[in-house]
Amino acid sequence: MSVDLNAKIPNNVGLAEDRRLQRALESWQPSFINWWKELGPEGTQNYDVYLRTAVSVEAEGWANFGYVKMPEYRWGIFLAPPVEGRTIPFGEHKGQPVWTDVPGEYRAALRRLIVTQGDTEPASVEQQRLLGLTAPSLYDLRNLFQVNCEEGRHLWAMVYLLHAYFGRDGREEAEMMLQRHSGDIDKPRILGAFNEETPDWLSYFMFTFFTDRDGKFQLSSLAESGFDPLARTCQFMLTEEAHHMFIGTTGVMRVVTRTCEVMNELKTDDPEKIRAAGAIDLPTLQKYLNFHYSVSLDLFGQEISTNAANYYTAGLKARFEESKIDDDHVLKDGSEKVTMFENGVIKEVETNALLAVNERLRDDYVADCQIGVSRWNKTIKRHKINFQLTLPHRGFHRAIGTFGGSSIAPDGAVITKEQWNKQKDKWLPSKGDRDFVISLQRSCIEPGKIASWVAPPGRGIDGHSFDYQYVRFN
């Protein structure tokens, strides 16, 4: 598949041969750039940022590093190469050739999935737009901008599908992507977590760990879609997603490390003393974890979902690593245990496997989150500190699904609204906690310098050291 890098819109989808589509996308492009300038990273128009840009989907081509002014970033449309003879891997069309066009009967469902996926991408850029003003280091600043640019590219990926395969309503949906805004009362983003604020870098690290990880699982399940263009787009997006989660995993790790160092230097576990030394006490980290984990769990939808069953049966959206699962990939007769909250009691319920597809994805996500948390705990232990971070119960602080609006403590105890209100500041960041974390946010962008509350990274980007000039301010 040939790559056209010099085109207005770099691509490997043969845009030059489809003038109508090319014109349509080129007319969306200025709206995107306007949106970026207005709601993308604040005050950065002239910065030269050491970024990777995808120039092809081959192993050597997709991570090309160099200084770029962000509004001139080459947002391209790149799909993984088609697999000759690929067949639909699951659902009632299992074994049939994949669709290279949208099957009429699934048009609405596919559009909805693509729109929901696409909407999250610019939402996250909007959520993070002010963080560049308070970066804890030049390295972190660069990583933030890298993620912002790639989320912008992910929007391009979905907008390409809408324009290429959904005609006029696809073009309308593409316009809407730039009209809904994170946190907007009248036109909010579609999913809850993408209307929350990301007001500080601790929230940002938690977001890239927990919420970008939802991206990993959703994209993986779309990467096996029977609609081949969607599958191929998502396969390539996943390669970029790995770096976003790396920022989260190592970001939180570095905060934990710094806190442990301060605790050992001062020989204390008194949060007040730790805070006075400019670090974030472990109980506060736990509260931020509780918040971001619970809002991210909501992103998997209802435990028992006919939508999800229909997507699966239609061959549109699979399970995580569908092809590696050893079963019939149709699930008509399968069953699955699901944790439900019924009449005030949390219980395991046996249900049809098809209806439990959302919950299964959430289970896989929970297990993946636990791996990261265990790594952070190893670091705490290595510092000989007696404290463990934990994932709260899945019913804790939920807005969607069986637990939506219920009062469940982090340990899974069912409590009253009154008890919840009394204790919630112990479990979720209080106004005071947030004010404290925000008080630590100061721009620290001299090469080699780092803020007081986070340890430097183990290594830099693209073989450069931590003190490299990752961003040049002009």
213 binds Fe ion (CB under 5 A): no
Cα–Cα dist 274/282, whole Å = 9
Going along 144-269, which residue ranges are E strands?
A: none
Q: Which residue in 232, 254, 251, 241 sits closest to 212, CA to CA?
A: 241
The 214-233 site mask, x for binding Fe ion (CB under 5 A), equals -x------------------
What character string, x for contact with Fe ion (CB under 5 A) and - otherwise, covers 114-133? -------x------------
Nearer to Fe ion, 228 or 240 (CB): 240
Q: Is 245 in the site for ligand BYC (CB under 6 A)?
A: no
Please enumerate in sequence order all residues whose Cβ is within 8 A of that of 103, keeping only pairs 6 or more positions apart, or say none.
Answer: 227
Beta carbons of 240 and 157 less than 8 angstroms apart = no
Contacts (CB under 6 A) with ligand BYC, residues 412-471: none
Q: How far apart are the first and last CA of the chain?
A: 38
154 touches Fe ion (CB under 5 A): yes
Q: Least Å distance between CB 219 and Fe ion?
A: 8
Interacting stretch for ligand BYC, rule CB under 6 A, among 14-22, 44-52, 120-128, 251-259? 120-128
In single-letter form, the type of residue at position 38 comes to: E
Q: Can residue 215 be called a binding residue for ligand BYC (CB under 6 A)?
A: yes
Q: SS3 for 453?
A: coil
Sequence letter at residue 147: V
Helix (H) or strand (E) holding 33: helix 19-39
Report the residue from 212, 214, 228, 298 that binds Fe ion according to the rule CB under 5 A.
212
Please give the size of the binding site for ligand BYC, defined by CB under 6 A.
25
- 379 belongs to the binding site for ligand BYC (CB under 6 A): no
Among 158, 162, 177, 299, indicate the residue that binds ligand BYC (CB under 6 A).
299
Measured distance CA(62)–CA(439) in Å, rounded? 38
Amino acid identity at 317: K
461: Cβ–Cβ under 8 A, 6 or more apart, which residues?
A: 50, 65, 139, 142, 143, 468, 470
Q: Which is nearer to ligand BYC, 121 or 322 (CB)?
A: 121
Site for Fe ion in 234-263 (CB under 5 A): 244
Is residue 114 within a helix (H) or strand (E), and if so which, with residue range?
helix 107-127
Question: Applying CB under 6 A, which of residues 182, 211, 257, 339 lies at the interface with ligand BYC?
Answer: 211
DSSP percent split of the chain into helix, strand, coil, nearest 5: 50, 10, 40
Question: Under the rule (CB under 6 A), what is the footprint of ligand BYC?
Answer: 113, 116-117, 120-121, 124, 151, 191-192, 211-212, 214-215, 218, 298-302, 305, 307-308, 317, 358, 400
Question: Under the rule (CB under 5 A), what is the footprint of Fe ion?
Answer: 121, 151, 154, 212, 215, 244
